[in-house]
A and B are shown apart, each in its own frame.
Chain A
């Protein structure tokens, strides 16, 4: 595996995304909006008499969105990674270069991973700073940084992001038309929404231990999916069966 080739492909894809403004907006807007909206909700709910324990529960709910965000954002980038090459009819030329399937897939994955994780961390930084600003008076201490958010940002967000990218790449390299890739790719965040709802209705709590268990499960899924994605990426099928 020549990692330099993957890096070259990733940098090219990122350059293309930056030129395509709509993709860039999709990456930046969601984390930015949520990082501002959530603190505003806390601030405006002050008059509603949110008590300390309820405030903490609310903050806990908001934190999970920084796992959902990286599962949502890469959908357009990752599904575009293979589909886009096919759309621009550049895939045949790319496949004719001395690069392996693994190098191409890793490059495509990095292209989706890097901007998404940067946007997620930037959004989380704004979120934590604003939350600390609006809750410090009520709690009497700075709520962030804390262990839960550490696990979410350093473990769960990157792992969920990898899972979403892999599922999107698998989908986009298997389906035979562009719209199908986009539609299938956009459903990848549903399991994370499911976990959020389960925690909200009390099936389990998203405490540090459970977050670590979820991270472990996602890590295993990531490894399995990476193997599946490399075995399913078949040059011949992509070249000859795509419409």
Chain B
């Protein structure tokens, strides 16, 4: 549904996005993670044909973002939730939605139907005739999402949709994104909220000008360190340490009574490790398998870039 190949954007001498190649499948929720200034918004703006690319290629569905004659077709195919809500504060929620519905050439009955459905789903129907200026931040954000969906787009680009929202409003927005996922919408989600990305994204890309990594949240977690087996002994024992090292399953770290063993596959290898500990006379208090988190992966990948 979304394909980019070496997509690059430069502003003068400054490279904002450098050779980004990615693919997003239809119906996928794709998380785009990165720190502020990483090029996430610039990438979305290029994909929405709001700004031009410097080099590389990108396609949205069957259309090329570099072809001016495809730009209007792409904009008809997509919905955009910008990082700023972008609402007409003097107008009501209904008037805001009706305006955009008209610009997407929806008929009056289509507009009425979709506006009512979306505002009801986002619990804004009761306030439909109230000027948006009186809305809370959460209500405005929900309306911003509804606006992007008024023409029933196939692809939704969301730029930090839960930024600055209180936990309850953020949850409502996340739940709504999950509802959209059930409707098989393709969602391209810009965020630096790792927890949110982990909860709702099928796959995640980490960007810091260049694409640092891409995969499922689990794949990214594993890419950093894999898992480790932590064995707490009753007392430290050199023979136990030597026995475990002799297995050559991975790095072994001894800290007091604790042994930390990096293993490729702890589910299969733990039995061998524990057997070696017993044989060497070790008395085990506890055994834990600890995995790395998406945060570990994110920080490592982003910092790698900073070092470069």
To the question of whether A and B form a pair in one complex, the answer is yes
Mask of B79-119 contacts with A, CB within 8 angstroms, 1/0: 01010111111110001000110111100000000000000
Cβ of B253 under 8 Å from chain A: no
Known: A88-B86, A97-B103. A16 touches B91 (CB 8 A): yes
Measured between beta carbons, the chain B residues less than 8 angstroms from A60 are none
Closest to B95 in A: A15
Query: Judging by beta carbons under 8 Å apart, are B72 and A19 in contact?
Result: no
Contact (Cβ within 8 A) B78 A96: yes
Asked whether, in the complex, the Cβ of A90 is within 8 Å of the Cβ of B103, the reply is no
Task: Check: A126 CB closer than 8 A to any chain B CB.
Answer: no
Contact status A98-B87, CB under 8 Å: no
Q: List A contacts of B100 (CB < 8 A).
A: 93, 97
Q: Encode contact with B along A56-97: 1 for CB under 8 Å, 0 otherwise.
A: 000000000000000000000000000000001111111111
The range of chain A's interface size is: 20 to 34
Q: Is B291 an interface residue when CB atoms closer than 8 A count as contact?
A: no
Which chain A residues numbered 185 to 243 have a C-beta less than 8 Å away from chain B?
Answer: 235-236, 239-240
Contacts known (A15-B95, A89-B85); A98 close to B50, Cβ less than 8 A:
no
Residue in B75, B87, B90 whose CB lies within 8 Å of A20: B90
Q: Which residues on B sit within 8 Å (CB–CB) of A97?
A: 75, 100, 103-104
**Shortest CB–CB separation between residue B296 and chain A, in angstroms?**
34
Q: A19-B131, A100-B72 are in contact. Are A93 and B95 (CB under 8 A)?
A: no
Of A5, A88, A89, A92, the residue contacting B103 (CB under 8 A) is: A5
Which residues on the B side are within 8 Å of A93 (C-beta)? 80, 82, 86, 100, 147-148
A50 at the interface (CB under 8 A from B): no
- A236's nearest neighbour on chain B, judged by CB, is B51
On whether A99 and B103 interact (CB within 8 A), knowing A15-B95, A239-B50, the answer reads: yes
With both beta carbons as reference points, the residue of chain A lying nearest to B52 in the complex is identified as A236
B90 near A16 (CB under 8 angstroms)? yes
For residue B131, which residues in chain A have a CB less than 8 angstroms away from its CB? 19
Closest chain A CB from B93 CB (angstroms): 14
A5 to chain B, nearest CB (A): 6
User: Within A1-49, which residues are at the interface with B (CB < 8 Å)?
Assistant: 4-5, 8-9, 12, 15-16, 19-20
| B75 x A98 contact (CB < 8 A) | yes
> In the assembled complex, how far is the CB of residue B13 from the closest CB belonging to chain A, in whole angstroms?
15
Report whether B11 and A92 are in contact in the complex, using a CB–CB cutoff of 8 Å.
no
B11 lies within 8 A of A12 (CB): no
Q: Which of B1-40 contact A (CB under 8 A)?
A: 11
Number of residues in B with C-beta < 8 Å to the partner?
31
B48 contacts the other chain (CB 8 A): yes
Is chain A's interface secondary structure helix, strand, loop, or mixed overall? helix
* Contact digits for A86-119, partner B, Cβ 8 Å, 1 yes 0 no: 0011111111111110000000000000000000
Q: Does B76 contact A (CB under 8 A)?
A: yes
Please name the residue on chain A nearest to B75 by beta carbon. A98
Q: Which residue of A lies closest to B159 (CB)?
A: A92
- Decide if B50 touches A92 in the complex (CB within 8 Å): yes
Shortest beta-carbon distance, A168 to chain B, in Å? 20
- Closest chain-B Cβ to A17's Cβ sits at a distance in Å of 9
- In contact, A12 and B88 (Cβ under 8 angstroms): yes
If the complex has contacts A236-B51, A236-B52, A239-B51, are A92 and B72 also in contact, measured as CB distance less than 8 A? Answer: no
| A98 adjacent to B76 (CB under 8 Å) | yes
The complex places the Cα of A99 from the Cα of B104 at a distance, in Å, of 9
Known: A97-B100, A99-B103. A90 touches B95 (CB 8 A): no
Q: How far is the CB of A117 from chain B (nearest CB, A)?
A: 23
A12 to B99 alpha-carbon distance, docked (Å): 7
Set of chain B residues within 8 Å of A19, measured between Cβ atoms = 90-91, 131
Is the CB of B45 closer than 8 A to any CB of chain A?
yes
Q: Is the CB of A8 within 8 A of B75?
A: no
Complex Cα distance A22/B148, Å?
Answer: 30
**Contact for A89 among B78, B80, B82, CB less than 8 A:** B82
* Smallest CB separation, A185 vs chain B (Å): 20
Expressed in whole angstroms, the minimum distance between the Cβ of A57 and any Cβ of chain B is 45
Q: Across chains A and B, which 5 residue pairs bring their CB atoms closest together, nearest first?
A: A89-B84, A19-B90, A93-B86, A90-B86, A96-B80
Given contacts A8-B99, A90-B86, 6 further A-B pairs with CB under 8 A are A4-B105, A12-B91, A15-B90, A19-B90, A97-B104, A240-B11
Q: Return 30 A-B CB contacts under 8 Å, by A number.
A: A9-B103, A12-B91, A12-B95, A15-B90, A16-B88, A19-B91, A20-B90, A88-B87, A89-B85, A90-B86, A90-B87, A92-B82, A92-B86, A93-B100, A93-B147, A93-B148, A94-B103, A96-B75, A96-B80, A97-B75, A97-B100, A97-B104, A98-B72, A98-B76, A98-B103, A235-B50, A235-B51, A236-B50, A239-B45, A240-B11
